[in-house]
């Protein structure tokens, strides 16, 4: 297949391109700059110059492909305009792809989040839809759920659309801006590794190379209108993650009272994130797509040392 990857120079996208190329697909990566173009080429993909702000360009690029994988993340929009502006930008991208692929049966695979089903009181499954957003959720992650639901809705317009939900931690040797580097940097600054309350809130994790395979499998054979879960271990207590990081840094793991004053005081902008409780399973993904993780688990990957380089 001729596959367009948008966001191919990021942490997720670089592994997605490598996985697609290894599987024999002809991959084109969107690149805004010369630096990005060079990175896409080094990964074995063709380069198409373009910009996420050029929605007509995205539509044209999608129309020229046999399928699209979108793993881009507009950090610049988030920082300047907030979560509402980010959701609006992403929604415009979805609609551009939809206009290009409508009625073709071609695949569109979008990167989503494991938190989108909300707090269910049980592990989320692939059958749980993203909860609706609305004015009452402005300023929260829920606002972005309209993007996922719009992607899924494209199935009714003849697009083989699907969403791959990523867990809170997608780890690898090239992870530079994910949650783990942020937690490690915060621990070094504070002298302790914090966890919220009793730390029993559950998180998921996956190696990014394994997650990349879910995107490819969804592209190749996933039916339309489905959610997929790229999660290897979906129920790790946050306290255990903190303790694992602390043991490798030689720092204690300590409880931070889970209230509106203490969590932001310690975690800053990470306060809402660390308090999430979003366990999930991936049984349907494994059974339907034939996915089986092969890379190290989270705790094993921490032992590999790349998150803790010698200084």
For residue 139, the model assigns a pLDDT of 46
Decide: 192 and 253 in contact? Cβ < 8 Å: yes
188 and 218 in a single domain? The answer is no
Mean pLDDT, residues 69-95: 82
Strands 226-229 and 160-166: parallel
| Residue 218 domain flag | yes
Q: Domain containing 19 — which CATH number?
A: 3.40.50.720
| Residue 309 domain flag | no
- Mean pLDDT, the chain, integer: 92
Using alpha carbons only, give the angle 74, 105, 58 rounded to the nearest 5 degrees: 30
| Residue 160 domain flag | yes
Q: What does the block give as tokens for 98?
A: 């939809």
120 and 185 in a single domain? The answer is no
For residue 115, the model assigns a pLDDT of 83
56 and 181 in a single domain? The answer is no
117 and 181 in a single domain? The answer is no
For residue 136, the model assigns a pLDDT of 46
Q: How far apart are CA 261 and CA 195, in angstroms?
A: 14
* Locus of tokens 């596959």: 3
Q: How far apart are CA 94 and CA 56, in angstroms?
A: 12
Question: Which tens digits make up the pLDDT trace of 129-139?
Answer: 998 755 444 44
| Residue 310 domain flag | no
250 and 210 in a single domain? The answer is no
Mean pLDDT, residues 212-217: 98
| Residue 14 domain flag | yes
For residue 131, the model assigns a pLDDT of 83
| Residue 308 domain flag | no
Q: How far apart are CA 309 and CA 288, in angstroms?
A: 39
For residue 87, the model assigns a pLDDT of 81
Number of domains in the chain: 2
Question: Which tens digits make up the pLDDT trace of 194-208?
Answer: 999 999 999 999 999
219 and 263 in a single domain? The answer is no
| Residue 20 domain flag | yes
| Residue 120 domain flag | yes
For residue 141, the model assigns a pLDDT of 58
268 and 285 in a single domain? The answer is no
Strands 67-70 and 107-113: parallel
Which residues span the domain enclosing 82?
2-170+205-232+280-289
Q: What does the block give as tokens for 286?
A: 């494994």
Mean pLDDT, residues 62-78: 88
123 and 159 in a single domain? The answer is yes
């Amino acid at each position: 297949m001729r596959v367009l990857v948008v966001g191919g120079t990021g942490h997720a996208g670089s592994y997605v391109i490598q996985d697609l190329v290894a599987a024999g697909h002809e991959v084109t990566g969107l690149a805004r700059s010369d630096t990005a173009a060079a990175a896409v080429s080094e990964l074995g993909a063709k380069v198409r110059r373009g910009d996420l702000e050029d929605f007509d360009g995205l539509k044209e690029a999608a129309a020229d492909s046999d399928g699209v994988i979108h793993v881009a993340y507009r950090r610049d929009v988030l920082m300047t305009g907030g979560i509402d502006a980010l959701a609006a930008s992403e929604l415009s991208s979805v609609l551009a792809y939809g206009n290009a692929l409508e009625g073709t049966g071609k695949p569109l695979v979008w990167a989503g989040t494991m938190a989108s089903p909300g707090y269910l009181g049980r592990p989320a499954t692939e059958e749980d839809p993203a909860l609706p957003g609305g004015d009452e959720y402005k300023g929260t992650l829920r606002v972005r759920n309209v993007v996922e639901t719009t992607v899924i809705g494209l199935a009714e317009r003849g697009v083989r659309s699907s969403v791959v939900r990523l867990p809170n931690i997608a780890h690898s040797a090239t992870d530079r801006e994910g949650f783990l580097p942020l937690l490690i940097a915060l621990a070094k600054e504070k002298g302790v590794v914090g966890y919220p309350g009793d730390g029993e809130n559950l998180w998921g994790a996956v190696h990014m190379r394994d997650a990349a395979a879910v995107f490819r499998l969804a592209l190749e054979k996933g039916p339309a209108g489905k959610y997929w879960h790229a999660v290897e271990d979906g129920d790790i207590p946050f306290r255990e993650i903190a303790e694992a990081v602390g043991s490798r840094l030689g720092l204690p793991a300590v409880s931070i009272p889970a209230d509106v004053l203490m969590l932001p005081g310690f975690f800053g902008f990470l306060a809402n994130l660390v308090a999430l409780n979003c366990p999930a399973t991936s049984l349907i993904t494994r059974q339907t797509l034939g996915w089986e993780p092969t890379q190290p688990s989270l705790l094993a990957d921490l032992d590999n040392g790349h998150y803790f380089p010698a200084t």
